[in-house]
Structure 1
Amino acid sequence: MKHPKLALLISAVLFASTSAHASDDNKATVDQVGNDNSVKITQQVNSESNEATVSQTGNLNKAEVTQADTSNTKAFITQVGNENEGAISQHNSTATALATIVTEGSSNKANIVQKYYNAQSAAAAVNQVGDSNTATITQENADGASSTINQLGDGDTAEINNYVSDFADATINQSVGAGNNAYIEQDNSDGAEATISQAGAGNTGSIFQQTDTLTDDASEDTVAVIDQSGDNNSADIVQTGLSNDAAVMQMGNGNEAFVTQSNLNNMADVDQTGDSGWATVMQSGVNAGATIAQSDFNQTATVTQSGDGQMAFVTQSNANNTATVTQSDMSNLATVNQAGNGDMATVVQTGISNEAVVEQTEYSGSNTVSNTVSVYQTGNENYAGAKTGYNANSTITITQTGNNNTVTDNINAINFYGTGFGAGVWGSDNTVNVTQTGNDNTAYAEGATNGSMVDIVQIGSLNEAIGESWDGSTNDLDISQTGTEHFADVFISGSTNVIAVTQTDMGNNSSVNTFGNGNSVTINQGAVMMP
């Protein structure tokens, strides 16, 4: 009868000392069933109350435990399967450290390293069930830190590096799917939390935390979470500030998400439930919040926030929409909702307490196509609202420079799009341009059905202009006011109407109402004296 070759190598090296606690209460237990297994256990110097347990069942397994100059440390390695390798190394003065490796399957690898002064119950654990998985945990001088890797799929790779991050918590969960990659690095980030969960296949997740916090305090609240349940997604979170919160959830396929937080108390939330989406959040200010929700197909969203107290909300559905929000200074609010096809929205806010609302919507089962909205605000307390819907090629451009400017609904207007919205556009080939420069300006503009164009330009103070061109086609409306205390009100219903109102100087008042076909109204008030 042939017996399987059994290679058993156990090395336990215990160094004696005259110290009262020198090399006492150490325990080593090895249980091997299979072929070509190798175990090496080393517990040495003042290794008080150490315990190392290795159990291997299978072929070509290797396990190595090294505990040096440590107290109250425990190391457990359990391997069931083929070609597994497990290594635990706990070095100088890693008091109360705990490391656990559990593998089941074939070709799995697990590596845990805890170095130097990992006191206050530092812990690391690796659990592997599946084939060809690789896991690595390194905790260096991270007192009270906890790192855990759970792998249930095949061909997954996970790595956690914790460097001088006391009470930091890092967890990687890889289940069901195959070929996932996850990486977490915590550097000088006391109390930071990072979690990557991958239930799909072919996903890549990366979290980097470097808050430069060395307070030895578990109450620090920098948090990063990546949840990938779809396939072939990529997510990266970088946090170099303190007390930031970032979450990326990818349920669709082929999405990419990037979050960067480099200051204090920022929040970023990215949800991608569609396919082939692209989301980017960059926060370099303080107390900012950004939310991006993408569904359906091929959405792109970028939010850039600097300054204090910025808020941005982007929601995209249907397909091929693009949204860009840029906020600087402080206390700005931007909301972008895109439910059409091929829509583009750009919001730039560089003042204080600006608010912009953009909605590109879908009506009556028809998809909006290729609408473009651009909002530029510079100054204080500006508000801009814009909506597009129905169908194709509509363009809204709103530019505000100054204080207390608004583009909103008006009590004297029809307000088809609802309360709080200025601008408008309904139909195809419509263009609305609103430009305000000065103080206390108010503009409401709307272009409806086909071929309408609304252009409102106000320069000065205390100006108010209402537009409206709806329920017709080929309408053209132009209001230009320069000076102070102007008022213009225009209403058009029908087709082929052309109205132009120009008011220069001060104290002018104009009101135009047309209903029917072929009407043309031109009003010029005041004069500009040429040199």
Structure 2
Amino acid sequence: MKKFVLGSASVIALAISAPAFGQSVSNVDQAGNSNAATVTQTGTNDSDIDQTGDNNTATVEQETFGAFGASGNNADIIQTGNFNTATAEQENGVPGSIANQATITQNGDGTSTGEANTAIARQSGNDNTTTIDQGVAGLGTGNSNTADTRQTGSANMIDVAQINDGAAATLRQTGEGNTSISSQGRPNAASTTSGQELVVFQNGADNTSDIDQRGSGNYASVFQSGERNTSTIRQPGADNNIGVELASIGVNQVGADNTSTVTQGANNGLVNVNQTGDELTSTVTQTGRANNSVASVNQSGTRNTSTILQDAPPPPTGPGREMTANLTQSGSDNVSDITQTNTLGAPAVSGNFASVTQSGTFQTSTVEQDGHENDATVNQSNTGNESEVVQTGNANFAEVTQSGSDSTSTISQQSNESWARVNQAASNSSSSITQTANGQNALVLQGGSDQTAVIRQSAGAGVLGIIGGDLPDSGISWARIEQTAAGSGNSSTIDQEGLSNFALTRQVGNRNSSTILQDGNANLLGIFQSGDDNRSNVTQSGLRTNFSNLSFLANVGVQQTGDRNQSDVVQTGDYLDTAFVGNIENTFRVLQSGDDNTSTIDQSGLNPEARLLQAGNFNTSDIDQAGTENRAFVDQIGSGNSSFVDQLDPAGVNNFADVDQTGDDGLSEVLQTGSNNTATLAQGGSDNESFITQAGTGNTATVTQGSMMNVSTIDQNGIGNSAIVSQGM
């Protein structure tokens, strides 16, 4: 055994070489400044170096010499002071050898970078342990300390604890089953230390990295390559970064079955996670006030799962502002969950943003946002896609694009300034958008079979939002569903309640069905259906339900082309021309062409107007109107036509009915009761029948019928009646 005790000296260098291959024990004590101690040992050894003072250097080398392995070594270095450097190197490459242990403790209290301490540890072999402690608990000093560790082998452990500001640590492990535990900052003092940096490199399988950083302005980065690696990072302070400086990566995992967990508190947190491989899992939690927090996760592989939670407390402590979440997943069986909450309150500048991109199979994405200026974007591609976006409060926008099969998308906004857009190109698709109040917009486009889209809006915009043109002004609440791409099994429902609503449905192909219910003011409507088993139901209630001066309505107010078409329309509304100029009326238009068409219109209000054109096959039309200045236009062209117009008084005034039937089995009945009634009918072609009954002031009836089995009956009761019937022609 050799023991050296040295007193103070300005510069003293001590070198101990112990090639004896038994057990060697070295104990070195140095007091003063600029001391240097170097211990070299081979075999199973213990080395203890204690240095008190500044600018000291301690080096312990425990290594293999020839056939003699360095195993079971202990190196313990304690330095008290500033600008000290400690180095421990242990080599253990002999199978079955005993694990080495290196411990470096530096109790510096320097206040600047020039007074920082440095700890370096190198270990090779298995089951080795490195422990580094830097800083002085309870002091606001001990800044800018540096730790650098490397381990090669399996089942090794690194434990680094750095107290105080500006510390930097780099931990490297190569092998399997290694563990890295790192702590920077003072415990229970989340906001009083700052500017720490920590980088961990692990290469191998079943490795674990655990990082705990206290305080503000900290930076952490983890690189793991291999399988079943786990990374955990906790930063409870403000202005922390996880990534950015190293290729924008905070956690980089390459391999299978890797797991990453990141927790940040307070403001200005930044997280980047990059995972490549199979069975990957990433969890990012940003809490506290969470102002200006950014979380980015990129996963590539199969069965990926990612969860991002950004959460700030409600007022008066909150709200959190400017939260951003970005997620990209590529592979199969991906699941993504992004939640941004507790952001409501003043000031209204919480610009939350969430973006999810998933490519692969079985993707599922859920985004929840709560608070000002929300924005969510989800893009999923191919097979088994599901997306749900929930936004609450203020200028919300959500866009979901899903291309593939089995797609389902649900967007709920509860809401201010809301806008939602869904684009699904694909089989078995279903989309539901629910918006409540304020300036709502919704758009669903679906292509390919079995689509179902439901949009519900309740109260939005003002009556003055409609300014004309083919579509309403962008300030209006409106909903639009289009299902195309050759179709099959399409169904569309739009339910709107409130002011200035606009609804459009277009369906092409196979088993189409559409229902629009609007309750409110200044409602507009359009339904297009083309091909196969089409059915349309429209119910509108309120003021100014349709506007005939819009070129949009000149063409569309239910249009059906082909096969078993049916249309039911009920409008109840009034027209007051206080805010609009031109020919503005409650009106409706149905055009049906081809096969088994049936249409029924029931209108009640001040200025209803109904227009119907049916061309071809089994057409039947029934129009009932009650109110002031009622009008009805019916044109039927082609076989089996029947038309019934009854304008149901009450109290009549200026009723008008015009029915024109051309060809085949036509029958028309017009009954009008009220003032200034006029009925005109022209029928051409076989089996024609016409019945007109008018009661009340200034009636006129004109009937013209072409050949074959014509029957006409006119019954008029009241003042100024005139009837003209021409048959056979």
TM-score in terms of structure 1 length: 0.54
Q: Distance in 2 between matches of 1:303 and 1:323?
A: 8
Q: State the match for 2:123 in structure 1.
A: 44
Q: Distance in 1 between matches of 2:67 and 2:239?
A: 48
Deviation string for 1:241-275 (max 9, x for gaps)? 28x9x9x9x9x7341415151517x9x9x9x9x94
Q: State the match for 1:74 in structure 2.
A: none
Q: Distance in 1 between matches of 2:561 and 2:175?
A: 72
Q: State the match for 1:402 in structure 2.
A: 509
Equivalent residue of 1:188, what SS? strand
Tell me if 1:472 matches 2:571: no
Q: Distance in 2 between matches of 1:162 and 1:299?
A: 33
Given that residues 307 and 329 in structure 1 are in contact (C-alpha distance below 8 angstroms), is that contact kept between their aligned partners in structure 2?
A: yes
Tell me if 1:188 matches 2:254: no
Q: Match of 1:344, as an amino acid?
A: N
Given that residues 521 and 543 in structure 2 are in contact (C-alpha distance below 8 angstroms), is that contact kept between their aligned partners in structure 1?
A: yes
Given that residues 379 and 403 in structure 1 are in contact (C-alpha distance below 8 angstroms), is that contact kept between their aligned partners in structure 2?
A: no
Equivalent residue of 1:241, what SS? strand
Tell me if 1:432 matches 2:525: yes
Tell me if 1:86 matches 2:179: no
CA 1:379 to 1:164, structure 2 compared with 1: closer, same or farther past 3 Å?
A: closer
CA shift, 1:33, in A, is 7.3
CA 1:309 to 1:111, structure 2 compared with 1: closer, same or farther past 3 Å?
A: same
Q: State the match for 1:300 in structure 2.
A: 397
Correspondent of 1:393 among 500, 504, 507: 500
Q: State the match for 2:331 in structure 1.
A: 241
Q: Distance in 2 between matches of 1:19 and 1:342?
A: 82
Given that residues 447 and 487 in structure 2 are in contact (C-alpha distance below 8 angstroms), is that contact kept between their aligned partners in structure 1?
A: no
Equivalent residue of 1:396, what SS? strand
Equivalent residue of 1:82, what SS? coil
Equivalent residue of 2:417, what SS? coil
CA shift, 1:111, in A, is 3.6
TM-score in terms of structure 2 length: 0.42
Deviation string for 1:465-494 (max 9, x for gaps)? 9xxx99423322141637439899xxxxxx
Given that residues 381 and 403 in structure 2 are in contact (C-alpha distance below 8 angstroms), is that contact kept between their aligned partners in structure 1?
A: yes
Q: Distance in 1 between matches of 2:531 and 2:473?
A: 39
CA 1:279 to 1:202, structure 2 compared with 1: closer, same or farther past 3 Å?
A: same
Gaps of 5+ in 1: 48-53, 71-76, 95-100, 119-123, 191-199, 214-229, 385-390, 408-422, 489-494, 511-516
Q: Match of 2:152, as an amino acid?
A: D
Q: State the match for 2:610 in structure 1.
A: 499
Q: Distance in 1 between matches of 2:466 and 2:62?
A: 78
CA shift, 1:43, in A, is 1.4
CA shift, 1:187, in A, is 4.7
Correspondent of 2:354 among 257, 274, 278: 257
Given that residues 184 and 207 in structure 1 are in contact (C-alpha distance below 8 angstroms), is that contact kept between their aligned partners in structure 2?
A: yes
CA 1:93 to 1:527, structure 2 compared with 1: closer, same or farther past 3 Å?
A: same
Aligned residue pairs, count: 488
Matches for 1:219-368 after TM superposition, within 5 Å: 231-237=321-327, 239-241=329-331, 253-263=350-360, 275-281=372-378, 283-285=380-382, 297-303=394-400, 305-307=402-404, 320-325=417-422, 327-329=424-426, 342-347=439-444, 349=446, 351=448, 368=475
Matches for 1:115-264 after TM superposition, within 5 Å: 115-117=202-204, 131=216, 133=218, 135-141=220-226, 154-156=238-240, 158=242, 160-165=250-255, 178-188=267-277, 201-212=291-302, 231-237=321-327, 239-241=329-331, 253-263=350-360
Q: State the match for 2:592 in structure 1.
A: 481
Q: State the Cα RMSD in Å.
A: 8.1
Q: State the match for 2:486 in structure 1.
A: 380
Deviation string for 1:204-225 (max 9, x for gaps)? 4141514149xxxxxxxxxxxx
Q: Match of 1:69, as an amino acid?
A: T
Amino-acid identity (%): 23
Q: State the match for 2:200 in structure 1.
A: 113
Deviation string for 1:118-137 (max 9, x for gaps)? 9xxxxx9x9x9x94525252
Given that residues 368 and 392 in structure 1 are in contact (C-alpha distance below 8 angstroms), is that contact kept between their aligned partners in structure 2?
A: no
Q: Which has the higher contact order (CA 8 A, sep 6+)?
A: 1
Equivalent residue of 1:496, what SS? coil
Q: State the match for 1:15 in structure 2.
A: 63
Q: Match of 1:180, as an amino acid?
A: G
Gaps of 5+ in 2: 1-31, 34-49, 72-88, 92-104, 127-131, 154-159, 178-182, 186-190, 244-249, 280-289, 304-319, 341-348, 492-497, 547-555, 568-574, 600-605, 622-627, 644-664, 666-729
Q: Match of 2:149, as an amino acid?
A: T
Q: Distance in 2 between matches of 1:164 and 1:17?
A: 37
CA 1:212 to 1:379, structure 2 compared with 1: closer, same or farther past 3 Å?
A: closer
